[in-house]
Amino acid sequence: MKLSERLEKIPPYLFAEIDRKIAEARAKGIDIISLGIGDPDTPTLPPIVEEMHRAVDNPKNHDYPPYNGTEKFRKAACAWMKKRFGVELDADEEMLANIGSKEAIAHVFLAFVDKGDYTLVPDPGYPVYHNATVFAGGTPYHMPLLEENGYLPDFDKIPEDIAKKSKLMFLNYPNNPTGAVADLEFFKKAVDFCKKYDILLCSDMAYSEMTFDGYKAPSVLQVEGAKDVALEFYSHSKSYNMTGWRVGFVCGNAKAVKALGTIKNNIDSGTFKAIQDAATVAFDIDEKYINDLNKMYQERRDVAEKGFKELGWNIKPSKATFYLWLPVTRGMSSEQFVTKMLEDAHVVVPSGRGYGEYGEGYFRVALTKDTDTIKECIERMKDAGIKY
């Protein structure tokens, strides 16, 4: 049988490839430590699990959910946006439940992108931005995220002819894979740019609550007039250790929310109502739970950064996400470096090239192991002679 042309244009999914390499190594009896995938290693927060137990026993939750999410969930999400950012939203017109951010991000391209259209996507960036553009028949224009620019795109460098043909732009701050952060001044520039060229601005806030050293991530919707052009995507996955639950929300411009909802209505049937009930509890969870999680990741960050400094890396403390984005050993490509890490140190880290052309020369570390395991990774690197 012949695959579709769009599928043949898609490279192997980065994290599926990581899983494959881990399985192959372990099949050979190698003791592998994976710092590859951003999947929290501690359980979902207890109050959420407790609510799920109650909600799953309620037979009223066993039928199809409303396509746009339960009213209870949408209103709670609006209340959280108001409390967290001071942003007012209409639960019926400007809020939509999703099956985790990945699903909604992929589907928004189908709602806005036609053959011949361009999208503006970060490079390095979450692979779905590029791949979903291709699925929709569009052409991705990669906005370079350069270290010297604080891993922020330079909108002035986008060719005007590309901007005029672009339908949407994706931004992701706090950023995966670089850990970079953005302020409201940057978001205002993004809003102004998208208004000028009639572009839908999509802000991926998967790591909004994973911040350190007193830093709090802002929302693009705090910018005056942002709702004229912007959607924001939120996920429960990282903030509340709910990666497997598949739940979150999209909010912002009413027309864009409706368009995305139309795509979803024809493709999925929403998130199990019991999961939405449990996810609703997360919005009002005691801040201590989030603070304790962030304290844990900050401790892991500090241990990892100390270890890499001992090996010759010069790195600045990251303010957000549970990732470190580091240059590979001098004289090596990203692929050569991650192969050496796997074969000689038996540690898995993803190649920066897997996140785009401008990720070449870097690798990402996910702080999803405890401090003792992170120290073990550093010792393995020392024993293997892996330095900067």
pLDDT of residue 21: 76
pLDDT of residue 200: 98
pLDDT band, very low/low/confident/very high, at 278 (cuts 50, 70, 90): very high
The answer to whether residue 388 is domain-embedded is no
pLDDT of residue 130: 96
CATH number at residue 164: 3.40.640.10
pLDDT of residue 61: 97
The residue out of 233, 266, 283 marking a domain boundary is 283
Q: Report whether 311 contacts 382 (CB < 8 A).
A: yes
Q: Are residues 334 and 374 in the same domain?
A: yes
CATH number at residue 305: 3.90.1150.10
What distance in Å separates the CA atoms of residue 183 and residue 121, rounded to the nearest whole number? 19
pLDDT of residue 14: 65
Per-residue model confidence as pLDDT tens digits over 193-220:
999 999 999 999 999 999 999 999 999 9
The answer to whether residue 100 is domain-embedded is yes
Q: Are residues 190 and 262 in the same domain?
A: yes
The answer to whether residue 226 is domain-embedded is yes
pLDDT of residue 286: 96
pLDDT of residue 1: 87
- The secondary structure of residue 259, as a DSSP letter, is H
Q: Report whether 177 contacts 359 (CB < 8 A).
A: yes
What distance in Å separates the CA atoms of residue 257 and residue 316, rounded to the nearest whole number? 38
Q: Are residues 120 and 224 in the same domain?
A: yes
The C-alpha R_g of the chain, in whole angstroms, comes to 21
What distance in Å separates the CA atoms of residue 170 and residue 132, rounded to the nearest whole number? 12
Q: Report whether 210 contacts 174 (CB < 8 A).
A: yes
pLDDT of residue 341: 95
The residue out of 283, 298, 319 marking a domain boundary is 283
Give the distance, in angstroms, between the CA of residue 297 and the centroid of all CA atoms in the same chain: 17
> Is residue 72 pLDDT above 70, yes or no?
yes
Q: For the chain, give the mean pLDDT.
A: 95
pLDDT of residue 113: 98
On the 0-12 / 13-18 / 19+ scale of CB atoms within 10 A, 285 is middle
Q: Are residues 32 and 90 in the same domain?
A: no
Among the ranges given (2-11, 61-70, 71-80), the one the predictor scored with the smallest mean pLDDT: 2-11
Percent of the chain with pLDDT over 70: 99
- Exposure string for 31-65, b = 16+ CB within 10 A, e = fewer: ebbbbbbbebeeebbebbeebbeebbeeeebeeeb
Per-residue model confidence as pLDDT tens digits over 356-376:
999 999 999 999 999 999 999
pLDDT of residue 15: 63
> Is residue 185 pLDDT above 80, yes or no?
yes
Domain containing 27 equals 5-41+290-383
Q: Are residues 179 and 273 in the same domain?
A: yes
Q: Are residues 17 and 100 in the same domain?
A: no
> Is residue 255 pLDDT above 80, yes or no?
yes
Q: Are residues 243 and 321 in the same domain?
A: no
Per-residue model confidence as pLDDT tens digits over 328-345:
999 999 999 999 999 999
Q: Are residues 68 and 123 in the same domain?
A: yes
Backbone angle region of 191, left / alpha / beta, with phi > 0 → left and psi within -120 to 50 → alpha: alpha
pLDDT band, very low/low/confident/very high, at 146 (cuts 50, 70, 90): very high
Q: Report whether 165 contacts 117 (CB < 8 A).
A: yes
Q: Are residues 181 and 298 in the same domain?
A: no
The residue out of 283, 317, 343 marking a domain boundary is 283
Which positions ≥6 away from 359 have C-beta within 8 Å?
123, 124, 177, 334, 351, 352, 353
Domain count along the chain: 2
> Is residue 13 pLDDT above 70, yes or no?
no
Over range 166-180, report the average pLDDT.
98
Q: Report whether 177 contacts 151 (CB < 8 A).
A: no
Q: Are residues 261 and 365 in the same domain?
A: no
